[in-house]
Structure 1
Amino acid sequence: MNMNANKTALLVMDVQEGIVARVQDPDYVPRVSRAADAARNAGIPVVYVAIGFRSGRPEGSARNKIVGSLPPGLYTEDDPKIAIHAGVAPRPDEVVVTKRRVSAFAGSDLDVVLRSGDITHLVLTGVATSGVVLSTLRQAADLDFRLTVLSDACYDPDPEVHRLLIEKVFPSQAELMTVEEWVKAAG
């Protein structure tokens, strides 16, 4: 695979303390960290995407089944659980984008950041496969980004849903690789 470092970005999505606390795979964070280190070593920007709401969650509608069902105060700016997990913490010069919905693009300036950096290829990681990864993949494909999904750097609480998305849904819009395959290609 020809990876032009100037056109590719690795997205680390929703790998936040409160979300990762529910991940049942102890090797998940180290794999994401390995992908981030490989990206940095190859000159590929690492962009973090985090769910975050203002105090009182004014951007949350009761009509939104996911956002409306969150307990009060969860993932608001006062909640320490919104911090990026310490095992994959961004470096001071790396961009952290705050989103207000499931997709990394919804309610964020991600598109502006990517287009300003002349990014055309996104490498996706995140929790959950059926949430941020699926929603971001679909929107990014519609925005004409080239896509790669790091299958073992995505996690879903339902292993069957993860498998179905990775094997049946994502291949129509993205290249699928493991972290190890991508590390070798990026290096």
Structure 2
Amino acid sequence: MNKPALLVMDMQNGIVARFQDNPEMLRAVQKAAETARQYNIPVVFVRVAFNEGYPEVSARNKAFSQIAQFGGMTVSDHATQIHESVRPTNGEPIVTKYRVSAFAGSNLEVILRAKQIDTLILTGIATSGVVLSTLREAADKDFAIKVLSDACADADPEVHRVLMEKVFPRQADVLTVDNWIDDLSLNTQETV
């Protein structure tokens, strides 16, 4: 019996702001979260943030050392709060990670194991960042994986396309939010 959870990853103010020209993606994430709630599928929010003083950031980390140098992205910063378009409801957990993968330095795996989750449905920004890193690590941890292609975005549309069409299908089922909803509806009808 598969027990899924929807991961809404890096849908935080400072990241979503860079993708405001993609309202379709934001609507797809909203629709996925609403559907998960309707089907009693846990929704887990993941954000990247750092503690004051950036003790988690190594000077050797090219991406995050820039943040530590210029400031921002701390756990209390506006940029790290979940975007209002997909705000958590009913005590849905917000996991704070300190690297690119949703698992890196977070309590995500503890939450998933506590809920006996064996299937992850991935959404988020960026396809080449949190989605790719989380997919790879989740596959190594033996989770079944689905990626909702229209509920993910990347600054480079070609990278997004290549990952969705050529890379992700090796370890995950790639489908649109509407296809996922159709599958949920069909599976619910079959069990009735």
Whether TM exceeds 0.5 here: the answer is yes
* Number of the residue aligned with 1:15: 11
* Number of the residue aligned with 1:36: 33
Q: Secondary structure of the residue that 1:60 maps to in structure 2?
A: coil
- Give the deviation of 1:165 after TM superposition: 0.4
| Cα deviations by residue, 1:93-147 (Å, 9 ceiling, x for unpaired) | 2011000000000010100100110000000000000000000000000000000
The residue correspondences of 1:73-152 to structure 2 (distance < 5 A) are 73-152=71-150
Q: Distance in 1 between matches of 2:82 and 2:4?
A: 22
* Number of the residue aligned with 1:186: 184
- Give the deviation of 1:77 after TM superposition: 2.0
Moved more, 126-135 or 61-70: 61-70
Q: Distance in 2 between matches of 1:47 and 1:186?
A: 18
- Give the deviation of 1:85 after TM superposition: 0.6
Higher helix share: 2
Q: TM-score, normalised by structure 2?
A: 0.92
User: Aligned AA for 1:138?
Assistant: R
Q: Distance in 1 between matches of 2:70 and 2:171?
A: 36
Unaligned runs of 5+ residues in structure 2 are 186-192
- Give the deviation of 1:185 after TM superposition: 1.8
Is residue 153 of structure 1 aligned with residue 156 of structure 2? no
* Number of the residue aligned with 1:164: 162
Moved more, 112-121 or 91-100: 91-100
Is residue 57 of structure 1 aligned with residue 54 of structure 2? yes
* C-alpha RMSD of the superposition: 1.2
Q: Distance in 2 between matches of 1:126 and 1:59?
A: 23
- Alignment size in residue pairs: 183
- Give the deviation of 1:156 after TM superposition: 0.2
- Give the deviation of 1:72 after TM superposition: 2.9
* Number of the residue aligned with 2:42: 45
| Identity across matched positions, percent | 56
Moved more, 125-134 or 74-83: 74-83
